[in-house]
């Protein structure tokens, strides 16, 4: 059965996120046989009509009213792809109308909003998905396959380091990122995407301790013509350090920092096992945003020495990973939603997204109080 979609926030502009990350994979096989775009909604009638025209829809399927698209009988599922502060107000009418929903992460601007949305979806028996797509990325799926096979043995520790210039070089339209109440800061979005992948592979935190800092006291935004705005005080954290312990007993060291051009964007993530280890390397600090190189390190089978002897360096072995269906791995989420993920846990529903909001709140509480926190 084809799932009929109404996308809120779909733009006629080809470089817009919803166009690239959602329409990109949805317009190609195998998803083009499973989904059909039947309606769009934007903030104005003109932009809605432009989007409808761009994607071959009639004008009567171009909405600027949330209630109208929510009541459209030709829509089975609403997709909300807009700024985080608007997620709650745009999603609730669709849930009340009994529509399934796919909402970008974060689900709400805060935990209370997320809990309200999850409770309503559960009450109505709706299918939901949240755009925590890092776990759907083929490189994460491959790593999970290796870990679950027992190839690493007992996981001893994991260490993540990421640096990025993106959060000090944002477009003017993203000025809301500098508002800590927007739910769209560096901790809430890129870091939680990565921590979701970490917890998906290795399990939840037993406890964590976080330090959040502002290394850049001022920020500027880039206008559409390439010029910069005047500097404004930075209100959001740009340097994050998290230490903790997983429920398995494995310690976690996690560092994610905004930098200048003097440090290239990159990530290095190592999962150290008793028998072998995995390493992720990428030129993007956020694991869900790009195809990341995956490598395996293991003691050669002909090595007669035990695992607890002094190591003799051997090369990391590159692991072949299939390419993403589209930018960000969103296509894999749609695929799993349509077919069921066979117990892989690829689709994060609203209830599980609430758990991630609680993890996020634990990070902020820890940083504010200087305490170990649980969630």
**Domain spans in the chain, listed from the N-terminal domain onward:** 3-126, 135-327+350-369
Kindly state the average pLDDT of the residues 39-51. 96
Half-sphere exposure of 47 (CA within 13 A, CB side): 11
* Strand ranges inside the chain, DSSP E: 3-8, 35-41, 62-63, 77-80, 100-104, 128-131, 155-164, 170-171, 205-213, 218-219, 221-222, 232-233, 239-246, 251-258, 266-273, 276-282, 293-298, 317-319
d(C-alpha 38, C-alpha 9), whole Å: 14
Domain 135-327+350-369 has CATH 3.30.360.10: yes
Give pLDDT, residue 15. Answer: 86
Residues in contact with 32: Cβ distance below 8 Å, sequence separation at least 6, in sequence order: 26
Residue 348, helix vs strand vs coil: strand
Kindly state the average pLDDT of the residues 119-128. 98
- Place 315 in a pLDDT band, splitting at 50, 70 and 90: confident
Half-sphere exposure of 165 (CA within 13 A, CB side): 8
Per-residue pLDDT of 71-108, as tens digits, reads: 999 999 999 999 999 999 999 999 999 999 999 999 99
Q: 307-324 burial by CB neighbour count: b if 16+ within 10 A, else e? A: eeeeeeeeebeebebeeb
d(C-alpha 35, C-alpha 359), whole Å: 33
**Is residue 3 within 8 Å of residue 35, measured between CB atoms?**
yes
Per-residue pLDDT of 272-290, as tens digits, reads: 999 999 999 999 888 887 6
Give pLDDT, residue 312. Answer: 67
Kindly state the average pLDDT of the residues 8-23. 93
> What does each C-alpha distance from 363 to 166, 195, 373 come to in angstroms?
22, 11, 7
Stretch among 14-18, 61-65, 256-260, 267-271 having the lowest mean pLDDT: 14-18
Please provide residue 314's backbone torsions phi and psi, each rounded to the nearest 5 degrees.
-130, 155
Domains 3-126 and 135-327+350-369 share a fold: no
Q: Which CATH class is domain 3-126?
A: alpha beta
Give pLDDT, residue 145. Answer: 97
100: left (phi over 0), alpha (psi -120 to 50) or beta: beta
d(C-alpha 46, C-alpha 43), whole Å: 9
Give pLDDT, residue 364. Answer: 97
Per-residue pLDDT of 356-374, as tens digits, reads: 999 999 999 999 999 999 9
Kindly state the average pLDDT of the residues 335-340. 92
Give pLDDT, residue 302. Answer: 62
d(C-alpha 301, C-alpha 120), whole Å: 54
Kindly state the DSSP code that residue 17 receives in the 8-state scheme. H
d(C-alpha 191, C-alpha 369), whole Å: 20
Q: Find the helix or strand (DSSP H, E) in which 337 lies.
A: helix 330-339
Q: 70-88 burial by CB neighbour count: b if 16+ within 10 A, else e? A: bbbeebbbbbbbbbbbebb
Residue 225 above 90 pLDDT? yes
Residue 255 above 80 pLDDT? yes
Share of the chain above pLDDT 70, in %: 95
Q: Where is pLDDT greater, at 112 or 289?
A: 112
Kindly state the average pLDDT of the residues 302-310. 64
**Mean per-residue pLDDT over the chain, rounded:** 93
Structure tokens at 295: 């490598």
- Place 327 in a pLDDT band, splitting at 50, 70 and 90: low
Residue 304 above 60 pLDDT? no
- Place 324 in a pLDDT band, splitting at 50, 70 and 90: confident
d(C-alpha 98, C-alpha 116), whole Å: 15
Give pLDDT, residue 168. Answer: 83
Per-residue pLDDT of 159-217, as tens digits, reads: 999 999 888 888 998 888 888 888 888 899 999 999 999 999 999 999 999 999 999 99
pTM, to two decimals: 0.94
Torsion of CA 21, 24, 25, 27, to 10 degrees: 150
């Amino acid at each position: 059965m084809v799932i009929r979609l109404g996308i809120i926030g779909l733009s006629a502009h080809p470089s817009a996120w919803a166009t690239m990350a959602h329409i990109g994979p949805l317009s190609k096989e195998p998803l083009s046989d499973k989904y059909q775009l039947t309606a769009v909604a934007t903030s104005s009638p003109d932009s809605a009509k432009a989007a409808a025209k761009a994607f071959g829809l009639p004008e009567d399927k171009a909405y600027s009213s949330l209630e109208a698209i929510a009541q459209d009988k030709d829509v089975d599922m609403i997709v909300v792809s807009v700024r985080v502060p608007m997620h709650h107000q745009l999603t609730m009418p669709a849930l009340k109308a009994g529509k399934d929903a796919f909402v970008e992460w974060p689900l709400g601007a805060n935990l209370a909003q997320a809990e309200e949305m999850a409770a309503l979806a559960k009450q109505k028996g709706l299918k939901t998905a949240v755009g925590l797509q890092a776990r759907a990325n083929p490189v994460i799926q491959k790593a999970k396959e290796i870990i679950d096979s027992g190839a690493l043995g007992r996981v001893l520790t994991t260490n993540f380091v990421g640096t990025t210039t993106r959060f000090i070089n944002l477009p003017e339209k993203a000025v809301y990122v500098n508002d800590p109440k927007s739910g769209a800061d560096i901790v809430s979005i890129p870091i939680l995407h990565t921590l979701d992948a970490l917890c998906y592979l290795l399990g939840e935190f037993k406890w964590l301790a976080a330090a959040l800092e502002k290394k850049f006291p001022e920020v500027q935004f880039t206008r559409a013509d390439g010029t910069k705005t005047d500097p404004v005080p930075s209100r959001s954290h740009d340097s994050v350090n998290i230490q903790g312990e997983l429920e398995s007993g494995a310690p976690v060291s996690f560092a994610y920092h905004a930098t200048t051009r003097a440090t290239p964007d990159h990530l290095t993530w190592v999962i150290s096992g008793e028998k072998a280890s995995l390493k992720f390397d990428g030129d993007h600090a956020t694991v869900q945003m790009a195809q990341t190189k995956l490598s395996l390190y293991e003691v050669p089978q002909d090595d007669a020495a035990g695992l607890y002897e002094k190591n003799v360096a051997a090369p990391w072995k590159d692991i072949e990973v299939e390419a993403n269906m589209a930018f960000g791995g969103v296509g894999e989420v749609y695929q799993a939603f349509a077919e069921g993920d066979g117990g892989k846990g690829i689709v994060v529903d609203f209830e599980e997204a609430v758990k991630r909001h609680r993890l996020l709140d634990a990070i902020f509480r820890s940083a504010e109080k200087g305490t170990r926190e649980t969630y």
